Amino acid sequence: MQASKRIYCSFLLLIVLGGMEKIQAAGDFDSFLKPLFAAKCIKCHGGGKKVKGKVNLKEIRTEKDFLARPKLIKELIEVIDGNDMPPEDEPGLEVGDRPKLLAALKEMLAQSTSGKKAGRARVRRLNRFQYNNSIRDLFKLKKDVFRLPEKLMTRQGNYLAQGGGKMPEKVEVACLSLLEQGGFRDVAAFPRDLRASHGFDNQANQLTLSPLLLDAFLRLSVSILESPDFNQENVGVWNELFKEPPAGAKMKEEVSKRLEPFLKNAFRGAVGSKTLSRYANYGLAKIRQGIAFTAAMKKVASAALSSPLFLYRYSPEKGGAGDFELASNLSFFLWGSSPDPELLRLAESGELANPATLQKTMERMLADPKIERFLDTFPTQWMQLENLLAVTPDPKKHRLFTLDKNNPASLQMVLEPLLLFDTVFIENRSVIELISPDFSYQSDFLRTWYTSDLKVPKIDNSQRAEQNQDWEKQRKDLAAAIKAARSDLDALITPVRQRLLAERKKETGSKKPVDLKPYAAWEFNGDLKSSVNSLPLKAHGKVQHKDGMVVLNKSYLQSPNLPIDLKAKTLEVWFKIPDVNQRGGGVMGAQGPGDFFDTIVL
């Protein structure tokens, strides 16, 4: 309740401050903006022969001229808000001028665009992180589909789920971004996402989808469903979606029943009967072609994952945001993934937009373990921490930074600001502490790095030579002791060995040694003949030859009577079974009326 009040009070404060800015922004162009441009800007942007950045502010003589250039006003807001202007080598703005200037420019931008037709809403394609999480949640996978180098901090403990609003004194975290491991096997690469200049990878104008990309996403979805890791062990919805239906089930009803909730979750909204029928008919057509039920459903799932309804997030051009869009925006912002069934249920019933319901929903989402994904993406991109991993200081000045090329010092450094953000988030601290905190999480490595001079200690050559002499003397003494112990051991073992060999020779007498050559070998190269001696197998039932193997399929093979005694022989069979956990029904054995056995059965 305290946190909610704090948020509400902050919201009221923002409204008040926003009102103050509008009062300040009501100043006249001639009395404030134009003199400021003349004093701080026109020297570089219109005062000389060369106009920097192709921006000539000297040409703007009246308020009307300025209002006619909304694009320029927007660019001015961006560079001034980002402290890019004035440049560092020029006199800065007076204290208080920057917020007043920004407020005035925003007011002018609003005036210059009033009455103009709003631009068409952009559609947003899922980026790699969102795509991975959506696939993982959709199929309830036990691990990520891709290796995610953008996840800069892996939390070993479970402090996010402990509750209590308090970070532990000690945490176990690591940066595994540089490790080439993780993800499903044999999965195609995700098309590279472009980043905006401010570091965020969820900008609509960067996430496009060309025909080539659409083909790449189709191949990607197929590779995921066909990965050897996409199996019953790793897929939580296997029984609900991919498992063979019981005998006698009506296939059309079974396919539609399974696809309806799947498509609703995949497309993040209600699915019409035509859409459901189209996907169900596609699956039924594959089954009629003789494809197994599981394989057919995988093809349907692949088709759904390559659909724009899955790949795209978009806002309606008219009518404002609907409940399904609200659910999607909440989920992708906080969880980096598609809405869960509860969010979709609230959206479908129209309850989600209710303020009380929305408040409870946000509290539930913030308490969900999936909130870790927000902490994995927002602070990393907001602070552009990936640039820290790319830092390469001068090796002549900072040789120790990359002494271990696979584990540079930046892997430890990047964890410090991320843990700071985690603490501010979990303990609901002031955002000011992100700039000036009174605490920090540091490993022993970081403390040493920050506080010591990191100089290589000087070596005393005379002391090292004396130490080497002592070690050489110890080595010689140990070598002599080992040699003496070995001689004593030989003196004990040699008589015993000679006596045992004499007794063994007396026992064997004139017996011939065991013949280790194989008596028979079946390679199954299209037949059941033995490549050694003549001992062909006989098939009982219908068998198939495939890829150097023989497929028994509830049949068995039997050899003729063996003319040799197998007591001194071994029997080796290489085989493959559908389920390693099956019980009973051995794959090889022996039978016969003789003393031991007289035939081989596979």
Side-chain half-sphere CA neighbours of 332 within 13 A: 26
Q: Is the Cβ–Cβ distance between 373 and 382 less than 8 Å?
A: no
Contact, 301 vs 263, CB < 8 A? no
pLDDT, position 132:
94
Q: Are 241 and 231 in contact (CB under 8 A)?
A: no
Q: How far is CA 71 from CA 42, 180, 216, 529, in A?
A: 18, 44, 35, 83
Instruction: Kindly report the pTM of this predicted structure.
Output: 0.59
Whether 375 contacts 364, CB under 8 Å:
no
Least confident of 100-114, 190-204, 340-354, 389-403: 190-204
Q: Is pLDDT at 211 greater than 80 in this prediction?
A: no
Q: Is the per-residue pLDDT at 198 higher than 60?
A: no
> End-to-end alpha-carbon separation of the chain, Å?
71
Whether residue 225 contacts residue 193, with contact meaning beta carbons closer than 8 Å, is answered with: no
- State the pLDDT at residue 418: 93
Of 323, 311, 331, the closest CA to residue 269 belongs to 323
Task: State the DSSP string of 411-422.
Answer: HHHTHHHHHHHH
Residues 300-317: what's their mean pLDDT?
Answer: 83
Q: Round the CA-based radius of gyration of the chain to a whole number and report it.
A: 37
Q: Which helix H or strand E contains 487, and what residues bound it?
A: helix 461-508
Q: What is the pLDDT at residue 131?
A: 94
Residue by residue, what is the 3-state secondary structure of 289-333?
Answer: CCCCHHHHHHHHHHHHHCCHHHHEEECCCCCCCCHHHHHHHHHHH
Give residue-wise pLDDT tens across range 558-590: 888 877 776 666 777 777 776 666 655 555 655
Check whether the bond before 86 is cis (ω within 30° of 0): yes
For residue 498, pLDDT beyond 50:
yes
User: Which distant-in-sequence residues (6+ apart) come within 8 Å of 434 by Cβ?
Assistant: 420, 421, 424
The answer to whether residues 255 and 285 touch, using CB atoms and an 8 Å cutoff, is: no
298: pLDDT strictly greater than 70: yes
Distance separating alpha carbons of residues 590 and 185, to the nearest angstrom: 40
The 3-state DSSP class for residue 190 equals coil
